[in-house]
Amino acid sequence: MNIDQKIESLVLKRLIKHLRENTELQNIDLMNLSGFCRNCLAKWYKEASEKNGVNISYEEAREFIYGMPYDEWKKKYQK
């Protein structure tokens, strides 16, 4: 892994941590303001995994991004 990839990896980890900690920020707000949300990140994570030979489900990718099963996150935080 080169230095650019290491930096990009750290930035992504920081973004995911930020989104996990700021649960008051709803996906619809993210979509309206930035054009992407946690679910988009999960789709991109799944796509990148598969391009690298790792088959994961969309639900597994969402659990990675949300830090818990999506249904659990929705019950706890979705307004």
> Number of structural domains, the chain?
1
User: Considering the chain, what percentage of its residues have pLDDT values greater than 90?
Assistant: 97
The closest of 62, 44, 56 to 8, measured between CA atoms, is 44
CB under 8 Å to 25, separation ≥6 — which residues? 19
Contact between residue 70 and residue 18 where contact means Cβ atoms under 8 Å apart:
no
Q: For the domain that residue 64 is a member of, what is the CATH number? A: 1.10.3340.10
pLDDT for 35 equals 97
Could you tell me the residue range of the domain that residue 32 belongs to? 3-77
pTM across the whole model: 0.91
CA 23 to chain CA centroid, nearest Å: 13
Q: Above 90 in pLDDT, residue 1?
A: no
Render pLDDT for 22-53 as a digit per residue (tens, 0 to 9): 999 999 999 999 999 999 999 999 999 999 99
Mapped onto helix, strand or coil, the DSSP state of residue 68 is coil
Cα–Cα–Cα angle for 19, 24, 25, rounded to 5 degrees: 55
